Amino acid sequence: MFHTLTACPVAVHEVPTSKVFFGRDDDAIHALTFYVWIVRGPNGVGLVDAGLPPHADDLAALRTTGVYRDVVPLADVLAQHALTPADVDWCCITQPVTYHSGGVLPELLPHAQVYLSRAGMTELLCDPPGHPPTEFFFTARSWAYLRELAIDGRLHVVDEPTEVVPGVVFETTGGHHPGSAGVRVQTADGLAGILETAFVQENVDAEIPVGIAEDVARCRREIKRWKQTCDVVLADHEPALAERYRGR
């Protein structure tokens, strides 16, 4: 069951070195790219992440936490790749925070099965975190749609490795945040792992945890484990992926 991957940049967020690499601090600024991944395969079309909030008020609220530039709404991403919202069969959210979950809305994912980390939801509901603030896990609009998804049986809140469709597996990886997750996708070139526990490729190649890891040891363990499991591990905010996985 081979799939194709397309990395669609939806925003750029500049951060200091101390946020990207644990134990490293200098004057450099790193431009992290946020993606919506389009996954096409024999069992339909899926997304890894849903982009930033499309509504102006929600996006303005998110921007109080930092500068996000070059924002592309999910609807535009789909249109650019000859897709409609109704074409999307599933969506995996690699971190429950609005720069990944903003497009979880009825008009953008009307038929999709949606996958989230149980650990991330537990943190939100039972042990509210300080970072990100609770209000930035989901917008009010997305939170209301999660209820509809749950009633319809289309919301899957899991931690253990879970097959989304044959050849695609979602699981919680933690490290960065308890709700950080990864998606393994079988492609013609081997098993590709999209890992939110790593920001840039150097995190993976040098096995350096991200600088804002809530669990540094777990972050390092998961990076090593995914390198052993996958043929290639893709750090979820690596800018070079946009060129490498241009797809269609």
Cβ within 8 Å of residue 135, ≥6 positions away: 61
| Contact indicator for 78, 87 with CB cutoff of 8 Å | yes
In order along its 248 residues, the chain shows pLDDT tens digits of 799 999 999 999 999 999 999 999 898 999 999 999 999 999 999 999 999 999 999 999 999 988 999 999 999 999 999 999 999 999 999 999 999 999 999 999 999 999 999 999 999 999 887 777 889 999 999 999 999 999 999 999 999 999 999 999 999 999 999 999 999 999 999 999 999 999 999 999 999 999 999 999 999 999 999 999 999 999 999 999 999 998 64
Q: Which residues lie across from 158 on neighbouring strands? A: 117
Domain borders along the chain are 4-244
Cβ within 8 Å of residue 14, ≥6 positions away: 29, 30, 31, 32, 67
Q: What is the pLDDT of residue 248?
A: 45
Q: What is the pLDDT of residue 232?
A: 98
Half-sphere exposure (CA, 13 Å, Cβ side) for 14?
6
Cβ-based burial of 55 (10 A; exposed 0-12, middle 13-18, buried ≥19): middle
The fold of 4-244 is Metallo-beta-lactamase; Chain A (3.60.15)
pTM: 0.96
